[in-house]
Amino acid sequence: MPRQTATEATEKLYLSAKEAAAELGISLATLYAYVSRDMIRSEPVPDSRARRYRAEDVRLLKQRRSSAPGGAAQPGSVNGIASFGGVPVLDSAITLIADGKLYYRGSDATALARNSSLEQVAALLWGCRDVQPFTREAIPTMSPTVERLASELAASGRIERALALLPLAAEDDPSIYNMTDRGLATTGARLLRFVAAIICGTAPSGEPVHEALARALTFGDRRAADLIRATLVLCADHELNASAFTVRCVAGTGATLYAAVEAGICAAQGPRHGGFTNRVEGFLTDMAHRQDLEDAVLHRLRNGDPVPGFGHPLYPDGDPRAAALIGMMKESHGDDPAFLRSLRIVDVMEDAGGLKPSVDFAIGALGATLRMLPGAGLAVFVLGRTAGWIAHAIEQYRSGQMIRPRARYTGEIPR
């Protein structure tokens, strides 16, 4: 048998854009969306302007998509935990993604974003029927130690401050081990308000968190608070994503709500999750002063470089969260130059790429429109998602189970 050359071996590791799209049965635009969300790795072809795509990623994605009707993977069972194309699946009554829509306990999230506050949606997600968690008793107090450390960390990033201060805040919470429905809801309210205060750089209060956040992140635009409120609601939960699963794993061990939320923040700040908003912000900054904006976007598509924030595997017809938020921005800031630039990118991507914006792009467009500082998008995402993380932790406590998947061993066979 002839020996395989190094070039042949390399070619088997990679596919061209057309080959990868053909193997998956998708358009090139959809392929670029998968690459943009780091579901398929790509890299430049040596001595060429083209890009190549990891064959193993393409085939793994193909296997997951084709294992059930409609492109959804078939759930199986691994040691009592269902699996979805190799990804764990748990029963949950919190959030539903179906038919291109997002529902919080049966209520359309985009409808809630029109008028509800994050506090109201948090109570809904936590299953509070007869309990109003956001009372005056649920306003956290900062000990002198926490206040001193918060002051010392004032120049640090908002997310880094939260990660540093949450363990100390847990020590100051007198009812952290109250696992009754009322106790968990009250602790959740204090925790949400504490995260809001740390992100805003203020003392905890009973003020609506979107108003505090608008004052901290914007420069006096009176219309900003309503847009931030809607964004917080749209970010509140998104079913069993990476950070929600992390939170449930931690809660399943019996760790406190504070520990579970801290774990969620750690997972969310990664560039494939909430931190993806930073990539969108960087892209929009690069495009801010381009006179040839449309040509610049087309150039990226032509070279196989993904435009961050477009396409979502769970919403093939468009992310409803993005549509809702962009629609609200159009009503309030429809003549703003930064917003109009974002709309031009949306139009090019839909016409030339066949892709619609995800909530990541909408958050980036919000930051550009409201002139928020870099990293503000992640701060808004984390604060909104804190409500959902608390809901998942409470639901996991109620299940009484610890999450313990088994590994499929692929290493060396024991001798």
CA nearest neighbour of 104 among 230, 227, 226, 233: 233
Q: Where are the alpha helices (DSSP H) in 37-157?
A: 55-66, 109-115, 118-125, 144-152
Q: How far is CA 148 from CA 153, 165, 213, 343, in A?
A: 9, 11, 22, 44
- What pLDDT score does 220 carry? 75
- What pLDDT score does 88 carry? 57
pLDDT above 90 for 414 = no
Say how far apart CA 34 and CA 313 lie, in whole Å. 8
Say how far apart CA 260 and CA 252 lie, in whole Å. 9
pLDDT in tens, 202-228: 999 999 999 999 999 998 788 999 999
| Residue 121, SS3 per DSSP | helix
Q: How confident is the model at residue 87 (pLDDT cuts 50, 70, 90)?
A: low
Please calculate the CA angle 304-310-311 and round it to the nearest 5 degrees. 100
pLDDT higher at 106 or 50: 106
Say how far apart CA 253 and CA 256 lie, in whole Å. 9
- What pLDDT score does 260 carry? 98
Give me the residues paired with residue 51 across strands: 44
- Two tokens at 125? 């997600």
% of the chain with per-residue pLDDT over 70: 91
Who contacts 99 (Cβ-Cβ below 8 Å, separation ≥6)? none
Say how far apart CA 149 and CA 397 lie, in whole Å. 31
For residues 322 and 350, is the Cβ–Cβ distance under 8 A?
A: no
- Work out the average pLDDT over 129-145: 89
Highest mean pLDDT among 31-45, 140-154, 319-333: 319-333
pLDDT in tens, 157-200: 999 999 999 999 999 998 899 999 999 999 999 999 999 999 99
pLDDT above 90 for 44 = no
Say how far apart CA 258 and CA 274 lie, in whole Å. 19
Instruction: Tally the residues of the chain.
Output: 415
For residues 274 and 382, is the Cβ–Cβ distance under 8 A?
A: yes
For residues 239 and 92, is the Cβ–Cβ distance under 8 A?
A: yes
Torsion angle defined by CA atoms of residues 68, 320, 242 and 146, in that order, rounded to the nearest 10 degrees:
-170
Exposure string over 299-320, b if 16+ CB within 10 A, otherwise e = ebbeebbbbbbbbbeebeebbb
Q: How confident is the model at residue 84 (pLDDT cuts 50, 70, 90)?
A: very low
CA nearest neighbour of 14 among 39, 48, 40: 40
- What pLDDT score does 80 carry? 39
Structure pTM? Answer: 0.82
CA nearest neighbour of 264 among 248, 243, 249: 243
Say how far apart CA 385 and CA 69 lie, in whole Å. 31
- Work out the average pLDDT over 58-83: 54
Q: What is the mean pLDDT of the chain?
A: 89
**Residue type, position 325, single letter:** L
Q: How confident is the model at residue 410 (pLDDT cuts 50, 70, 90)?
A: confident
